[in-house]
Chains A and B, each alone.
Chain A
Amino acid sequence: MTLLQEKWRAYRTPGYYTKYDYAWRLVVDLDSCTGCGACVVACQAENNLPIVGERAFQEKRDMKWLRIERYWEGEYPDIKMRFLPMMCQHCDQAPCETVCPVAATYHNQDGLNVQVYNRCVGTRSCAAYCPYEVRYFNWFSASWEAPLEQQLNPEVSIREKGVMEKCTFCVQRIRQAKDEAKDEGRRVQEDDFTTACAQSCPSKALHFGDANDPQSAVSQLAKNPRAYHVLSELNTEPSVTYLARGKAMESAS
């Protein structure tokens, strides 16, 4: 009976109940975020995102694993703008994972919501189920005009048409850091690596790290009273935590 239960649990959420190696989390401090878009560009460069062009952008087919959503409050001229950097939330209870018929998206042992491009058949059901709209579909095969193909990141594969893709928390960097740490017989440390977006943020609004380490920045920041999850009422249990804008910042802007 217990064996059966264990097998069932392992099947339901692979790697979950045995032990997390790491629990990768991202914290977005909206107090610090200026909406500059450096993270968007860094992500584009790091992950070989295609440049879709003006027309596709207007057709809502832009490819930005990380986008900065803008929301306005009030009427002109008394108007306030808020930023909400939105990337894959790597939900612990992800709606996209249950629906994929070929299990092209699943939860790995690090608590990441991973996407297997080669396994994807392109039913697009994961994107339909995702409440955060962070899954991007390859409507066409991407191409890079010379010499732009020279700047492609060799660590990241190019996706073909008909395949779904999304923010991976820079899984290639995670993989490399884990391999190096394993060679040295230790756990990945806080300052070994970070994601492209967190690395490029000029105001240090993005913090990436391992929540299994109680001393890490993300563990500390998650205790902040300003911490919240986007659409938490949907119970998707996201891995991305947002720190709301404080009262002082409200009056300053």
Chain B
Amino acid sequence: MNRVGNQTPDETPPKLADVNRDVIRTLTETTPLYWWTFGIAVMVAVLCFTLPWAYQLVTGIGVAGMNRPVIWGSYISCFIFWIGLSHSGTLLSAVLHITGSQWRKAIYRSAEAMTLFSLVVAVIFVLVHVGRPWFVYWTIPYPNQRELWPNFRSPLLFDVTAITTYMTASATFLFVGSIPDFAAARDGTIGWRHSMYRVLSLGWRGTQKEWKHLGWAYTFFAVLVIPLAVSVHSIVSWDLALSIVPGFHQTIFAPYFVVGAIYSGTAGIVTVMYFLRKYYHLERYILPSHFDKLGRLLLVLSLLWTYINIVELTTGWFSHHSFELEFIDYRLTGAWAPIYWSMIAFCAVLPLSLISSRVRTNLNVMLVLSIFINAGMLFERFIIITTSLPRKYLPNTWADYAPTWVEYSIMLGSLAIFVTLFLIFVKIVPSMSIYEVKEELLHNAKHQQENKP
């Protein structure tokens, strides 16, 4: 059953015929390990997400730990985190497509899927966060029989608009890029899979004209998606930055959030790539050199992120505004200071080790680093909310915040939802771009011939 798995992981370039087989094998052959992981993920999603959420819906949002000054809590932090995680997939894929990087081809499909599913989880967190989620459609701007429009001045409305646009564009980008692979899967499968892929491939035959249109459409979406991705997290940052709360009201927030989003998204890609490579036996396609390149990107992003963090603190400090100083004091030494300093350790200090190429090409170290970075980025979003709101203007109202078991449980459950969606995805969509990997192989073969004396 596990044809490649029995061999030692070889990293010799595959033959063209192998590519189709290897990728379609990931769709049709399911190991017990997959079913175990899938079962556990679904169970955790139901037990840790659905049930506590139902409890919260019935009882009221007071079952979470928020209080009056800290009126936003872990739900908004998680929302920002998942939006951030969504960033690298599509953005990285689009940027690398336009700049013509060859190495993106083995990884971009799963990266884009990560984008889509992170966005789904982020939207779920919006529903978990609001007090009356059954009315959340009131925030969508469309002409309706109530003759009521949302408030167009609200950054939250910008948010709704930006996220729905981004979600639509990412999903389309992902789908357009997958059409030839759906066709390949259609030709390589039988039974219900064959029927499903026949619909999904939109009757793709692989004529010259179709390839031309595909290339055009794909580049169009790549160009469209880049400004969208940048704008989405800028707009998410405005939810905070357009307030007058010390710690939120910062002009650096838009670039800060975008950099943080790409940072955590890139780390997320490293994590997903590691598991795909290991459990899907894609050693021949996902090479240590890919990890090396992503490691360099992570290093640059970590430096940028550190710089912006320093700017954020120093602008507050230079203001000599007593409220700003109070908030900085609380952030650095208050109730959540251990989380703050672990964030600094995970996102600013540990990634400095990526300067060494031995770290970048050691996949296990890369996995650990990427998980640490994403933990640090979750802490970052948490810190922004929970150290700014407790120290607002009137000292009489100052209070601390601590999440309850409902919030921790929903946090864990949302991760399970993400894993579940991803596991479903890898069984339905070819998780590696068949046709682009083939292109790359041809390209490399041609170069080798040219380089021969």
Residues of A at the B interface (CB closer than 8 Å) are 12, 56, 59-62, 69-71, 84, 86, 95, 98-103, 106, 119-125, 127-129, 131-133, 135-141, 161-164, 230-231, 234
Contacts and interface: CB of A to CB of B under 8 A. Distances in A.
A100 B59 contact: no
Contact of A99 (B130, B135, B242, B395): B242
A133 B131 contact: no
A162 B67 contact: no
B393 A131 contact: yes
Nearest to A86: B394
B243 A95 contact: yes
Given A128-B245, A131-B244, A133-B69, A102 B150 contact: yes
A188 B362 CA distance: 79
Contacts of A62: 68
Contact of A128 (B62, B130, B389): B389
Nearest to B141: A101
Cβ-closest 6 pairs across A and B: A122-B131, A162-B131, A139-B62, A60-B67, A140-B60, A161-B60
B132 A162 contact: yes
A133 B130 contact: no
Interface in B89-142: 129-133, 135-136, 138-139
A126 to B, nearest CB: 9
A101 B150 contact: yes
Contacts of A123: 129-131, 139, 156
Given A133-B69, A137-B68, A234-B244, A100 B151 contact: yes
B96 to A, nearest CB: 35
If over half of B's interface residues share one DSSP class (helix, strand or loop), that class is named, otherwise mixed; here it is loop
A59 B156 contact: no
B123 to A, nearest CB: 14
B393 A124 contact: no
Given A86-B394, A128-B72, A138-B131, A121 B138 contact: yes
Nearest to B248: A128
B353 interface: no
A125 B157 CA distance: 12
Give the bracket for the number of chain B residues in contact with chain A: 35 or more
Interface string B246-257: 000000000000
Interface of B: 59-62, 66-69, 71-72, 129-133, 135-136, 138-139, 148-151, 153-157, 160, 239, 242-245, 389, 392-397, 399
B67 A128 contact: no
Given A122-B131, A124-B71, A137-B71, A132 B59 contact: no
B323 to A, nearest CB: 9
A129 B245 contact: yes
B392 A122 contact: no
Contacts of A136: 68
Given A95-B243, A127-B68, A138 B60 contact: yes
Contact of B59 (A133, A135, A140, A163): A140
B395 A71 contact: yes
A109 to B, nearest CB: 18
A141 B66 CA distance: 16
Nearest to A68: B396
Contacts of B61: 122, 137, 139, 161-162
A121 B244 contact: no
Contacts of B149: 103
A108 to B, nearest CB: 15
A68 to B, nearest CB: 9
A129 B131 CA distance: 17
B59 to A, nearest CB: 7
B243 A141 contact: no
B68 A231 contact: no
Contacts of A59: 67
Nearest to A60: B67
A121 B59 contact: no
Contacts of B132: 120-122, 162-163
18 contacts: A69-B394, A69-B396, A86-B396, A98-B153, A102-B150, A103-B148, A103-B151, A121-B136, A123-B129, A123-B130, A123-B131, A124-B130, A125-B239, A131-B245, A133-B392, A139-B66, A140-B60, A161-B62
Nearest to B138: A102
Contacts of B395: 71
Given A70-B396, A127-B68, A139 B130 contact: no
Nearest to A141: B60
A138 B60 CA distance: 8
A84 B395 CA distance: 12
Contact of A127 (B71, B139, B239, B393): B71
Contacts of A120: 131-132
B153 A131 contact: no
A119 B154 CA distance: 15
Contact of A161 (B131, B239, B243, B392): B131
B394 A133 contact: yes
Given A86-B394, A98-B154, A136-B68, A124 B242 contact: no
